Structures are given as C-alpha cells and as structure tokens.
Amino acid sequence: MLWQALTTVRDLGRLNDIASVLIRYGFGDMVRRMGLANALERTGRALHWHEAEELAHLDPPARVRRAMEALGPTFVKLGQLLATRIDLLEPEWIAEFSKLQDSAHAVAFTEISQQLTEDLGAPPDTVFAAFDPQPLAAASMAQVYRARLHDGAEVVVKVRRPGIRLTVEADLRWLARLAELAEGESPELRAFQPREVVREFTRSLRRELDFASECRNAERIAQNFVGYTDEAVPAPGQPAAAAPPLPIIVIPRVYWEWTGERVCVQAFIPGVSGRQLGRLDQAGLDRKVLARRGAQAVLKMIVEDGFFHADPHPGNVFYLPGNRIAFIDFGMVGRLSDARRDQLMRLLMGLVQRAPQRVADVMVEWTGDGVNDEDSLASEIQGFVQQYHGVALKQLRLGAMLSDLMAILRQHQLRLPPDLSLLIKAFVSLEGMGHELDPDFNMASEALPLLQKTLRARYAPSAILQRGWNGVRDILSLVGGLPQDVSRLLRAARRGRLEIHIDVLHLKRVGNQLDSAANRLVVGIVVAALIIGSSIVMTVPGGPTLLGLPFFGLLGFMGALLGSLWLLISIWRSGGKD
C-alpha cells in the first residue's frame, strides 16, 4: 500500500534523494520501516547503505536538523515551523531547529534570467536603469538582487528559484502520506498530531511561495503603521525645525507593476542589519530606544492589529538613522481573531499582574476539550504563577514564563492551536532580540501599558455596545433562518432522506482491516473445502483422468494451491498488522 501511495512516477526521483539522505544521517531503519527501500529497489534505484550512521555520534536533534538541511528548502522550512511548536517539542529540539538558517548556494544568473524576463515582461537591463547580477542574498526559495529604477530609486528584486515549486509539491505530497502513515501506525507519533502539523505547514509554505501574497501582507502591515510616530526625527542633512516627521517603523514600498507570484520588487532599505549589532554604536544609534521601539511595534501588531510578522528574527530587521526600525520578509505572518486577542490580553495581564486564575482559565479555553483533568491543570498553572508573587515587574521574563507554561501543557499532552504557537514563538524571539540590544530590556514593562490601554478601549461603553449590537444581529439572523432550516429538515425526514453522519477516529482503517480479515477467512474456508472435496474425488473411481489421476481432483488441488499462495502473500505483505 505504501508503494502504491508513494512511488508515483513524478515523485520517484525525489523519493530516492530523500531516502539517500535519511540513510546517510543514520535513519536507515526508518527507510526500511516506511517501505521506501523496497519501493526504490524495485525501480532499479540503488541506495547507498554503506553511508549509514555517517553522523551517528551526534545526538538525535542535531542529526535530524542536519538531515533537514541536506533535504533542502521544504524540510528547512518544516524545521523552522517546528521550532515554533514549543507546545509539542522539548526545549533541546526547539533549540536545534532554531539553528536552521534559510540560506543556500546561489544559482547562476544565467539560470534565472529567462524566468525573470518572463515575469518582468522585458529583460532586466530594459526594466531597470541598473541591475547587479551578483545576488545580495541566496535563500532556499529565492535569490535577492539589487537594482535601480529609471527614476533613481534603489530597489531589491526577489526572484523565486526556477523549478522550486515542483520540488516543494513533491515533498509536500510525500510528507502528507508519511504523516497519515505515522498517525495511523504509531501511538507515540500520534500524540504530535503529524497530519495537523503537515496541513498547517502546507498552507504556510504555499503562501510563502507566492511573492504577491507576501507583498500584500507587507502593505497591510504598512497601512497599520500609518501615523505611528512618537517624535519628529530629522532626516539626514535637514535642520530639526524644517524636517517632517519620519515614520518610526518602516515597511519597504512594493512596486506592483513588476511584482507577481515569482518575483517581487521592493524599495531597498539602507541600514544596519539585525545580525550586525556591532555596527550600531558606530552608526550613532541608541540600543535602548531600538529595543523599546521594536517591542512596542511587534506588540502593536499582535495586540491591536491582530496581524503580525511571525518571524521577527535578526535577519528580518534593519536599524535606520534616527533610531528607526525596518521590517522585511513578510512571507510568514500570524492572524488573530478578536476572540483570540481578548484571550491573549487576559493571559498576558494575568502573567504580568500575577493573577493565576486568569491564566488558568485562558489556558483551559485554548486547549479545549482535550483536557482530561481540568482541576489538575488549573492547580499546576496556579502554582506556577504563584511562584512569581512579589517579584518586581522588571525582574519578570515574559518569554521564559510563556515557555514554562508550554512545558506544563506538554506534561499534560495538550496542544495549542497553530495560530497561538506562532504567536508565542514570536514573543520569545522578540524578547531575545530585545536582550541582545539592551541587557536591561524588560518585555513585561513594555507590554503592561499597551495591554492596559487596549483593555480600556475594548471595555469602553461604546465598544461594549457595538459588540452587544453585533451579537443581537447574529441572534436575529439565526432566528430568522430557523423556519427554513426546520422546514428543510422535516421535508428530508418525510422523504426518508434524513442522514446523520458520525465520524469515529480511525473507523475507516478498522473497517478496511475487518474487510481484509474477512476476505482471508473466506479464502481459507474455500481452500479447506477444495482440499477436502478433492480428496474425496480422488477416491471415487471413474471419470476423466490426467496422468492416471482423477482430473477434477487434480483441478481442485491446483485451486487450493493457488488460494493458499494468495493467502500467504497477502499475510506477508501486510506484515501481520491487519
């Protein structure tokens, strides 16, 4: 069955690459158990078993991380997603997956130029006044080039690697089938919800492959920051009195006339990269101001806007003159509904103000019906929050507190919804960046005023009235449609077409196993009947013969032999699991 599912013609080449990497990094046993070895050897593809255990001296998290790097962009992105699932994985795995860097060897410009010309509608030398064929950066999905428009504007051109979508789609098909196999066959892996993780990853990666979608995300965040200034910052060379206020948070402008699914053109950001903190002092920038402004900006995205940059690592941040901050690369964003933001604010307020019951209530809401012992979970969370009672606000480490809460969820085998795992990872990354800029940075102190302001706005009389009116409209709409719903239900009942669908986990798989077992049982009974009947026929004189033996008796024994062979092969193929 795995052979039929995995080895479609279009995926065989990629499957061979994946199996070879797994063997090289000491996961040969996994290749055998998944049936990949037999599948590939049947097609004449050789697997290099002599490479097995090449890096066996490394611990499992490091070996998995190295294997993901060797498997290419899809698996690097998967590792980066898993690094956000602090509710699923232990800290050592999170730390290892966080090391995955989205970088790769640059592809020669000659391999990209034809695709780039198709997407731009003309050769790059025609579209741009100047175009540097040497890439500024080379990632697993794309390469970035610097160019200049005819009006003098400096831009960056991000180009998707040729053929990358075919490789990614083959990997995603393989991962989906593997996740289904893992969830159905392994109770240990089932606890990690592999199918849900792969579904979430597939949606995220397909959005990331679409550069137009990334640019729409950038424009939405830019719109949310319109007017977001707290002081007038003089532009270089201008006196303070004549200078217009510059935006504190900068999002690169998108040039839509040359932007599409495979290429995007955005304004070039001249500044100090977040990976080059040593240059901040030379540039005359204030680290404390940068840490505070960065935290306030990300908190605004999360708490006020509900639409945030989900990967605020140092490579996606630039520091500009005037202590301004620029964010780039909006391929991965998080979205929060109003209800989720309300829960988040209550949780953070509970942590900052050391209110254990408030934290416990939110955590129970997040984990839903999966809580087996709600009292035990609430008691453990309350004990966790109580240990911070009396601790000064400036000594609280909000990221560490959230990580410890996730450890409690792991102990209870509870899982967060995907949007929340991105959110908490963003909080942890943000606090880490703040401490790199300013050792005295305190996320709790920065978050508290914004949380209080947002809560006051949320529970203002006008906001309460608006939510109440929205609720009344929903109820009226539901009541208004009730007669039609009841009428349709009664008509279906009168016609005998009323159906009730009940989904039971793994019921289909159990049914398939029962069908297989019943088929084998029937074949076994038929084989036994043929043997007994043929034995009787062999003792009866008369009738046609073959080689001196009754023909029908021999025919019965041949049928029994074929049935027995089918039965043995069926049992061997299933591995005795059915």
Classify 533 as helix, strand or coil. Answer: helix
Burial group, residue 541, by CB count within 10 angstroms (0-12, 13-18, 19+) = exposed
Which residues, 6 or more positions from 72, have their beta carbon under 8 angstroms from its beta carbon? 140, 167, 171
Candidates 314, 275, 278, 276; CA nearest to 294 is 314
Which of 281, 311, 375, 515 is the catalytic position? 311
Q: Are strands 545-546 and 324-327 parallel, antiparallel or unpaired?
A: unpaired
Residue 433: both structure tokens together? 């960046």
Angle at 410 between CA 408 and CA 411, to 5 degrees: 65
Strands (DSSP E) contained in 172-274 are: 249-250, 263-267, 272-273
Q: How far apart are CA 345 and CA 351, in angstroms?
A: 10
Annotation marks residue 474 as catalytic: no
From the list 83, 91, 98, 192, the residue with the least C-alpha distance to 400 is: 91
Q: How far apart are CA 353 and CA 393, in angstroms?
A: 8
Longest dimension (CA), the chain: 122
Nearest-angstrom CA–CA distance, 269 and 290:
17
The H-or-E segment that residue 527 falls in is helix 507-539
Query: Strands across the sheet with 317-320, in order?
Result: 249-250, 324-327, 317-320, 272-273
Any bridge partners for residue 146, and if so which? 156
Distance, CA of 390 to CA of 400 (rounded, Å): 17
- Relative to beta strand 142-148, strand 130-131 is antiparallel
Q: Residue 138's CB: how many other CB atoms inside 10 A?
A: 15
Percentages helix, strand, coil for the chain, rounded to the nearest 5? 60, 10, 30
Can you spell out the DSSP letters for 282-351? TTT--HHHHHHHHHHHHHIIIIIISEEES---GGGEEEETTTEEEE---SSEEE--HHHHHHHHHHHHHH
Task: Give the catalytic positions in this structure.
Answer: 311
